[in-house]
Amino acid sequence: MRICIIGYGNIARSHIEAFRAHGCEIVASCNRSERGNESARQEGGIPKTYTDHISMIETEKPDAVVNCVSFEHIFSITKSLIPFGIPLLIEKPAGLSVAETKELIDLRNEFGTKVQVAMNRRHYSIFQNAINEIGGQDKIEMINLEWSESPLKAKTKKGLNDLLIGKYIYANTIHGIDILDYFSGGISDFQVYCSSSIGYFNWQMILSGKSKSGILVNFTSSWGSPVPWRLVIYGSNKRAEFSPLETCRIYSDSEPKVLSISPKEFDTELKAGFYMQSKIFLDLINSNEGANTHGLESTLNGMLIAEGIYNELTLLINS
């Protein structure tokens, strides 16, 4: 499988390692800067580099393209790629609004392009191992998730302006919301409470609700007091706690000892979730598609929820 990469950075390196683990060839990458292209050639061992992604696609004619540009450019680059009909693995979020994602869905439907969104936490082997220990997904009764982002880090390390900081935090909140939405089977009924203290980005939020199958969900996030992410899944008189997300301890009333759950070996050798994510994408390329459970539509509900939270917070601050 011949694959091209758009955007060479930390995430791109993780994608490249995962696809190479499956025997794929990374034939070229595209970056706006020559510095990025130099890193791709020297550090990444990518033979050819471009500064224009359209020229790269037309010249290389790859079997698939991975779009891992910065979050504010994912939508525009994906929009320009879909008409080529080449299978796409795109980083999240697909757009910076629900409307943008729906626009991509319409375009995908027009050209029949296979598109998968890189929601790598769906594919953590440690999540699946823990859920199996509980007795399967249908035994889950409740999921709690603590999430946070750092506006200060976005401003000082990424150099984002206030508008992009807000959108960056919104985009990263989707990562957490998607975990709840995906593993609960789809959040269908929820209530949101938000508050803001001193400072434009000192936002606090709580989401409580339930999924289509009746699983209770809770999401708390503090952007003014950043803390490590923490996920807890309840079911079958057991509690699976992921803190940090790549580790797991299972507590049970009936067992005196705490059980530690380990991920599959590929999730310790590669960035967690990327091995299975790339395998699923390769299977999608080789299939007649059918139901794409990790396509653009699969992210819409989580985006709707995250956008609703973001809009409520901005209204609160501007009132």
Average pLDDT, the chain: 91
| pLDDT (0 to 100) of residue 199 | 65
User: Class of the 2-120 domain?
Assistant: alpha beta
Per-residue pLDDT band at 319 (split at 50, 70, 90): low
Q: Give the pTM.
A: 0.92
| pLDDT (0 to 100) of residue 291 | 54
Q: What SS3 string covers 222-264?
A: ECCCCCCCEEEEEECCEEEEECCCCCEEEEECCEEEEEEECCC
Per-residue pLDDT band at 47 (split at 50, 70, 90): very high
Instruction: Compute the distance between CA of residue 193 and CA of residue 303 in angstroms, rounded to an integer.
Output: 17
Q: Which sequence spans correspond to the domains of the chain?
A: 2-120, 122-264+296-318
Are 130 and 308 in contact, with CB atoms under 8 Å apart? no
Cα–Cα distances (Å) from 258 to 147, 230, 249, in that order, read 24, 17, 6
The first and second tokens of residue 143, run together, are: 């999921």
Residue 260: in which H helix or E strand, if any?
strand 255-261
Strands 203-211 and 187-196: what pairing? antiparallel
Nearest residue to 218 (alpha-carbon basis) of 303, 146, 159, 161: 146
pLDDT, mean of residues 55-84:
96
Nearest residue to 108 (alpha-carbon basis) of 116, 99, 98: 116
Per-residue pLDDT band at 169 (split at 50, 70, 90): confident
The CATH number given to 122-264+296-318 is 3.30.360.10
Instruction: Compute the distance between CA of residue 146 and CA of residue 46 in angstroms, rounded to an integer.
Output: 38
Amino acid symbol at 36? G
Are 97 and 119 in contact, with CB atoms under 8 Å apart? no
Are 121 and 206 in contact, with CB atoms under 8 Å apart? no
pLDDT above 90 as % of the chain? 70
Rounded to the nearest angstrom, the gap between the alpha carbon of residue 103 and the centroid of all alpha carbons in its chain is: 19
Asked, colleague to colleague, whether 2-120 and 122-264+296-318 share their fold, the answer is no
87-132: per-residue pLDDT in tens?
999 999 999 899 999 999 999 999 999 999 999 999 999 999 999 9
232-268: per-residue pLDDT in tens?
999 999 999 999 999 999 999 888 789 999 999 999 9
